[in-house]
Chain A
């Protein structure tokens, strides 16, 4: 869970930085999209680097999902009887890890079908024109709702996930606890605000 989660987290940080290029206009954003395919040139063939990233990510998603399934099954088996007197325990981010993860998995499917393959895209998907595609998606009410809800889920997931990964890998300690929680909350906030700024910008007309 920890290693695959950190791989995906590293990708998200790169992803949000790329997304923010949308604020520099269609020229720069589309050029950035093109660079993602020529990355590693001339050593690598066109879009090989991108496919390499995709393969690593796919492996990380699969490993994360499989270990989440195994862990959940084991945990449910270890506590077969619930307490009669129920009590709200851990934080919201902690309690929503499982459902949050499922929501994120479904979101990723939609997100790829919408902006990578264009299968469920509305407004005429055009490959190589990511700026226009992004504006199209966030011009629909459901595109905004799905995206913003998913990004809030990302924030919650990262908030508990990053700190937990540090514990799993044995990096956590009483002395480092405050710093680790601060980094986890900081990452969650930066990712959520960074990602949500794009649909908000389209809605308010800053990006059009």
Chain B
């Protein structure tokens, strides 16, 4: 396959950026999108040019490091992560636009790399449980109803890639934050911090400069892990419950 790429190039956080055009040849349809970018970078290095910087790590679709907006879609046209997107989803001769996540809370570091540490600070605010360390406790000691376990697992699938923020026209982090809160708040292990978790994580989300939710649903459409849109309603329910309880 031969492709025309239009890639966002930006030297550093303060420099202005723009779309640069590259032609890449010899792309196999079995390559992943990141392998296609590797091919481009090898050529750029041979030509003595600066390679395109992009985030990646496991390349198995489970770490949440890759972060590209491809033709306006976070993680591209398939419902998966960019590393699991294959070139067979494109046609020979296609022009493909590659841009970084766009949000005030995710500033561009270089080219396609953005700083997602705002997510880490949301997690630090309450995305944990307080448990004694030591050997793992007997699993049957804490019974969890099947429906609750399923609900928790559905939300635990969030890999924190930030596609929800990138897809949201408001740059809102409601889907990410709700996934993390719902995952822990439904389980007995998360019960001691149930109220402070939702209040603190939502407050941190707001402080980090993410936008507000207008329920456009773009986040849930872009999510590679299929975190459902009603998660946001479940978080709002937890938040309202916590505000009522903390006033007592």
Contact = CB atoms under 8 A, between A and B. Distances in A.
A80 B210 CA distance: 11
B117 interface: no
Contacts of B111: none
A103 B234 CA distance: 32
Contacts, number: 104
Interface in B166-182: 167-172
B234 A75 contact: no
B72 A167 contact: no
B202 interface: no
Nearest to B208: A78
Interface stretch (B35-43, B52-60, B102-110, B185-193): B102-110
Contact of B172 (A75, A97, A169): A75
Interface stretch (B25-33, B81-89, B123-131, B215-223): B215-223
Give the size category of B's interface with A.
35 or more
Interface string B208-248: 01111011111001000000111011101111110000000
A167 B233 contact: yes
B195 interface: no
Contacts of A167: 215, 229-230, 232-233, 236
Contact of A87 (B72, B104, B236, B241): B72
B170 A79 contact: yes
Interface in A61-100: 71, 74-75, 77-87, 89-90, 94-95, 97
A78 B214 contact: no
Interface in B5-37: 6, 8, 19
B19 A84 contact: yes
A95 B169 CA distance: 10
B71 interface: yes
Contacts of A94: 214-217
Given A79-B103, A85-B99, A74 B211 contact: yes
B211 A79 contact: yes
B102 A79 contact: yes
Nearest to B19: A84
A77 B233 CA distance: 24
A170 interface: yes
Nearest to B237: A170
A121 interface: no
B103 to A, nearest CB: 6
B69 interface: yes
Max chain A Cβ within 10 angstroms of own Cβ: one of B233, B237, B239: B233
A78 B233 contact: no
A167 B168 CA distance: 17
Given A79-B102, A166-B233, A89 B216 contact: yes
Contact of B73 (A87, A90, A172): A87
A77 B72 contact: no
Max chain B Cβ within 10 angstroms of own Cβ: one of A71, A79, A163, A172: A79
A164 B216 CA distance: 9
Nearest to B8: A84
A78 B99 contact: no
A177 interface: yes
Given A78-B211, A85-B99, A177-B230, A169 B236 contact: yes
Nearest to B70: A85
Given A84-B19, A94-B217, A172-B230, A75 B169 contact: yes
Contacts of A89: 167, 169, 216, 218, 221
Contacts of B170: 74-75, 78-79
B215 A164 contact: yes
Interface in A93-124: 94-95, 97
Interface of A: 71, 74-75, 77-87, 89-90, 94-95, 97, 160, 163-164, 166-174, 177
Given A84-B6, A171-B237, 15 more contacts: A75-B171, A75-B172, A77-B209, A77-B211, A79-B169, A84-B97, A85-B72, A85-B99, A89-B218, A94-B214, A95-B216, A164-B214, A167-B236, A170-B240, A174-B228
List the 3 closest A-B pairs by CB distance, nearest first.
A170-B237, A78-B211, A172-B233
Interface of B: 6, 8, 19, 69, 71-73, 97, 99, 102-105, 167-172, 209-212, 214-218, 221, 228-230, 232-234, 236-241
